[in-house]
Chain A
Amino acid sequence: MKLEIILGLSSALCLNAMIVQAQETNEVEQLKQQLSQMQENFEQNENKQRQEIEALQKKVDALQQNQTASQNVATAPTNTVTPEQLKELNDKVESVSEAQKKTLPGEFNPAIGFVGETVFSYRSKGSEATGSDRPGGFDVWQRSLEMVASAYVDPFAKGYAVINASADSATSEATLAVEEAALQTTSLPGNLELKAGRFFAEFGRLAYIHDHELPFVNRPLALDEYIGGESQSDGLQLNWLAPFPHYVSMTAGVGDHFGGDSPNPDHPGTFRAFDGLNFWGRFSSYWDLTPNWQLESGVSGLINPKTEDRGGALLQPNGVSTLTEKERRLAGFDVKFSYVPLQDNQFRSFNWGTEVLYSDNRYLSDPDGIPSNGDEFDKNVGSLGMYSYMNYKWSRQWSAGFLFDYVQSTQNHSDVTTDYSPFITFALSHWNQLRLQYTHTSHAAASGLKPDDAIYLQWAWIIGAHSHGWQQR
């Protein structure tokens, strides 16, 4: 009996316990559901409130920004902004934002610009008499169309490229060439700046200036003869600004070739030693003579110890003997004297610039033009060249000047060419310019060329991004 009672009570207790447990389980589930629901509600409310806070914060920021732009900036007034004022400010901000949106498509990254240059000319003699690669008589020549692009590469460097399409002198077909494509550091320590790639090396006064930026139509003869046009090189160039109160700039570079029109010294299959490269340097400084008068001067040097027979065996005027270049050495001195009145330099200015170059190349001279027959000998040819120009501007649109050129051939210093060129420039605007130039050229008898007269009309224009670079100052 006792056993039955115990079993019965136990069973009842267990059953009760199970029921209680089941009830507790239900409650837990309910509580969990409630908790989950509350969490969900909480998160929804939190999100909603966060959105409301963010919206309010934006309004506050916009209001503060408007207040900053409004009258009482620094004094931080306690005046309440009225709804009308707020609306007016919002309208202004919106109109500015809209206007800026419209300008953004024009702000290219990289900045891109084009420069076009057409030269109309008349020359009194044909190219057989002048040695020019342009014909005599009337000539129209799309000398170049340059595309200039530049942008920062990263916080440490910027890059730029100048692609030039110019008309081939023989076929008149446009030929595309990379004039410059270089990387330039922007944050080297010690006032240093490194440039690498293809660029116009810093040498002399005008050698690294593009044709359309010259103060006259044609590149000076001395630069064509001794450098080979622009001072283009594929290489490295390091510039250092001396940390003095006085401006002193020093540049050193090394490159594959030197001169845009210089014969390419690459000989496939051969091995070039270090002294086969070109090395150059420049030192320049500047003085404020008065607030309006300035003087800038520099010396430059170039050496290519082993020129790899640059240009091959050069036939001499006698038609038999040849010269083969073995070493190239060039030194230059330049000076520029400028009047740039502070008050109205857009309307009046004067420049006088002169550069003197001395070339001292070593050649292998072959009197009979027959190679390796034992009669060859080393020969140094020293030759001198210079140009001097002045340019006077008397209004924003008009300026005029005069250029004088003198150059001895690098292969024969008695082969002298001189020319003089008065020119007048009319700038319709900063981006649209016409220049009329007369040039009389004389050659020494040794050259076999004839004197000639030429008239040039140059029309140059710029579209797109256009920056005023340091070199073009």
Chain B
Amino acid sequence: MKLKLLFVTLIAMLGAAQVQAAKIRVVATLTDLADLTRNIGGDHVEVFSLATGIEDTHGVPMKPSFVPRLNHADLVVNVGFGCEHAFLPALLEASKNPRIQDGHPGYVDCSIGITPLEVPLSTDHSQGDVHPYGNPHYMLDPVLAKTAVQNIYNALVATAPEYEADFTRNRDTYLARLDAKIAGWQEAMKPLKGVKFVSYHEHWCYFAKRFDMDYIGTIELKPGVDPTPRHIEDLVNEMKVKHAQIVVREPQFPEKVPALIAKQTGATLVKLPIMPGGVPDTETYIDEMDYIVHSLVGAIEK
């Protein structure tokens, strides 16, 4: 009797393992892409995000514990435009998984179809840690996030065409929800039209364009290069002349300099996440965008 029970348990465990194994294993580099993948893939995907949300998008630590995850992955979903250049290429090489290498079907570049902004005219480091293909922070524009949704959908359908109907339904449901939210965000952001602001890192050009804000500069001297006193002085003067109203600090960067600039210019300091999980209560992409919009609206109402 005990033997029978053991046998049945073993069979059940094997069955459960097979059900688990049947899922598409997705590794997303950042939490926004992980959230989109979960929404489209539903029960057919098992998603792991390399970032937890509080990291800098360019500074996710290269942990060896990521390597087995990548080794077993069917898809690696990434932002593209060189956003993950500091950690993803080395992790992919260490993963020894040919399926997910750049150029293979398992490498899902979500930037496909997106027109980049701030494409540099030269790629030497006199411009800092410049992204040769353009600014990679398009996920902060919720309309462009729909292109990422479509790219993830395409990859999931190509990987598991048998679930296409489910993926299509999930995608359409999510996009309808996102469209409704976008309409709300655009309405809420109307008072911020033309409002001038600065941020620590150049995260916000797509967001500013979408919501007609005026993004006048960054606290960093150049991407990845700390500000000099002269640069801070110039930025403060420019903000005063242009009546900039908001200083955005991303949680990954120290507060001291942004707070000083806000104090000297009379602008409002706002801490904004750059991906879900960056601040509390922003576990999904929609939560994150909600938080950003409400924070900015709150800042301008002060």
B121 within 8 A of A: yes
Query: Does residue B251 face the partner (Cβ distance < 8 Å to A)?
Result: yes
Asked whether any CB of chain A lies closer than 8 Å to the CB of B184, the reply is no
A71 touches B64 (CB 8 A): no
B87 contact set on A, CB distance < 8 A: 468
Tell which of B65, B134, B146, B147 touches A247, judged by Cβ atoms closer than 8 Å: B65
Chain A residues with CB under 8 A of B89: 467-468
Q: Is B7 an interface residue (CB 8 A)?
A: no
22 contacts between A and B (CB under 8 A): A68-B113, A69-B147, A73-B150, A99-B120, A102-B122, A106-B123, A186-B93, A186-B98, A193-B96, A247-B64, A286-B65, A345-B61, A346-B59, A395-B226, A396-B226, A429-B128, A429-B225, A431-B125, A463-B125, A468-B87, A470-B93, A473-B90
Q: Which of B50-58, B230-238, B260-268, B282-290 contacts A (4 or more CB under 8 A)?
A: B50-58
Segment at the interface with B among A164-172, A237-245, A301-309, A415-423: A237-245
Interface segment, one of A141-149, A227-235, A336-344: A336-344
Please list the 7 inter-chain residue pairs (A to B) with the smallest Cβ-Cβ separation, ordered nearest first.
Answer: A286-B64, A99-B119, A247-B64, A343-B54, A106-B123, A473-B62, A187-B98
Query: Do B56 and A346 touch across chains, with their CB atoms under 8 A apart?
Result: yes
Evaluate contact between A107 and B123: CB separation under 8 angstroms: yes
Q: Which residue of A lies closest to B94 (CB)?
A: A470
Q: Which one, A65, A75, A340, contacts B179 given CB within 8 A?
A: A75
Q: Per-residue 0/1 for A295-336: is the Cβ within 8 Å of any B Cβ (1 yes, 0 no)? A: 010000000000000000000000000000000000000000
A189 to B52 alpha-carbon distance, docked (Å): 31
Given contacts A74-B171, A192-B96, contact A96 B90 (CB under 8 A): no
Q: Is A433 an interface residue (CB 8 A)?
A: no
Contact A96 B119 (CB under 8 A): yes
From B55, B64, B125, B134, contact of A296 by CB (8 A)? B64
Interface presence of A347 (CB below 8 A): yes
Q: Give the CA-CA distance A16 to B80 in the complex, in Å.
A: 85
Residue A2, interface by CB 8 Å: no
Cβ–Cβ contact B150 & A74, under 8 A: yes
Q: A106-B124, A396-B226 are in contact. Are A73 and B147 (CB under 8 A)?
A: yes
Give min CB distance, A212 to chain B, whole Å: 16
- Interface SS majority for chain A: loop
- A99 to B130, alpha carbons, bound, how many Å? 14
Q: Which residues on B sit within 8 Å (CB–CB) of A37?
A: none
Q: Give a binary string over B89-110; 1 marks a CB under 8 Å from any A CB, 0 the rest.
A: 1110111101001000000000
Number of interface residues of A (CB under 8 A): 55
Q: Which residues of A contact B143 (CB under 8 A)?
A: 71
A470 to B87, CA, bound (A): 9
Residues of A with C-beta under 8 A to B16? none
Is A468 in contact with B123, judged by CB distance below 8 angstroms?
Answer: no
In the assembly, what is the distance between CA of A288 and CA of B68, in Å? 13
Chain A residue numbers with a CB within 8 Å of B150 are 68, 73-74
Out of B52, B113, B224, name the residue touching A73 (CB < 8 Å): B113
- In angstroms, how far is the closest chain B Cβ from the Cβ of A25? 64
Given A463-B125, A468-B87, decide whether A342 and B96 contact each other with a Cβ distance below 8 A: no
Find out whether the CB atom of A244 lies under 8 angstroms from the CB atom of B68. yes
- Cβ of B12 within 8 Å of any chain A Cβ, yes or no, is no
CB within 8 Å for A429 and B122 given contacts A192-B96, A345-B59: no
Given A73-B150, A107-B132, A288-B65, A100 and B119 touching (CB < 8 A)?
yes
Which residues of chain B are near A102, meaning CB under 8 Å?
Answer: 121-122
Q: Does A246 contact B (CB under 8 A)?
A: yes
A74 touches B119 (CB 8 A): no
Does B115 sit within 8 A of A, measured CB to CB? Answer: yes
In the complex, A59 has a CB within 8 A of chain B: no
B52-92 Cβ-contact flags toward A at 8 Å (1 or 0): 10111001011111011001100000000000011101110
> In the complex, A71→B254 CA distance in Å?
35
CA distance A397 to B221 in the complex (A): 13
- Residue A268 CB within 8 A of the other chain: no
What 0/1 readout, one digit per residue, does chain A (66-104) give for beta carbons within 8 Å of chain B? 001101111100000000000000001100100110110
Tell yes or no: A294 within 8 A of B by CB: yes
How many residues of chain B are within 8 Å of chain A by beta carbon? 60
When C-beta atoms are compared, the residue in chain A nearest to B86 turns out to be: A468
Given A75-B179, A296-B64, A473-B62: A397 touches B226 (CB 8 Å cut-off): yes
**A243/B252 in contact, CB under 8 A:** no
Q: Which residue of B lies closest to A286 (CB)?
A: B64
Given the known interface contacts A74-B149, A192-B96, the answer about A347 and B113 at a Cβ–Cβ threshold of 8 Å is: no
Asked if B253 is at the interface of the complex by the 8 Å CB criterion, the answer is yes
Q: A192 to chain B: closest CB distance in Å?
A: 7
Q: A103–B240 Cα gap in the complex (Å)?
A: 35
- The chain A residue sitting closest to B224, CB to CB, is A430
Residues of A within 8 A of B252 (CB): 343-344, 346
Q: Which of B68, B91, B226 contacts A246 (CB 8 A)?
A: B68
How far, in angstroms, from A75 to B149 measured CA to CA in the complex? 11
A374 within 8 A of B: no
Complex Cα spacing A69 to B52, Å: 28
A241 touches B116 (CB 8 A): no
| B114 to A, closest residue via Cβ | A69
Q: Are B68 and A469 in contact (CB under 8 A)?
A: no
A191 within 8 A of B: yes
Q: Is A269 an interface residue (CB 8 A)?
A: no
B67 contact set on A, CB distance < 8 A: 241, 247
- Contacting pair A73 B146 (CB below 8 A): yes
Given contacts A74-B153, A192-B96, contact A469 B90 (CB under 8 A): yes
Q: Which of B55, B86, B175 is A343 in contact with, Cβ under 8 Å?
A: B55
Whole-angstrom distance between the alpha carbons of A65 and B112 in the complex?
10
Report whether A342 and B71 are in contact in the complex, using a CB–CB cutoff of 8 Å.
no
Provide the bound-state CA to CA distance between A100 and B175, in Å: 31
- Which B residues are in CB contact (< 8 Å) with A473? 62, 64, 90
Contact of B43 with A by CB under 8 A: no
- Residues from chain A with a CB closer than 8 A to the CB of B68 are 241, 243-247
CA distance A280 to B147 in the complex (A): 49
List residues 147-193 of chain A with CB under 8 A from any CB of chain B: 186-188, 191-193
Give the distance to chain A from B269, nearest Cβ to Cβ, in Å. 17
A106 near B146 with CB under 8 A, answer: no
- Chain B: CB-nearest residue to A67: B113
A241 touches B96 (CB 8 A): yes
Partner of B121, one of A65, A99, A243, A470: A99
Further pairs besides A100-B119, A243-B72, A296-B64: 4, Cβ < 8 Å: A96-B134, A102-B122, A103-B119, A244-B68
Q: From B115, B120, B123, name the one whose CB has the most chain A CB atoms within 10 angstroms.
A: B115
Q: Which chain A residue shows the least CB distance to B95?
A: A241
Q: Mark A330-373, 1 if CB is under 8 A from B, else 0.
A: 00000000001011111100000000000000000000000000
CB distance from B157 to the nearest CB of A (A): 13
B278's nearest neighbour on chain A, judged by CB, is: A343
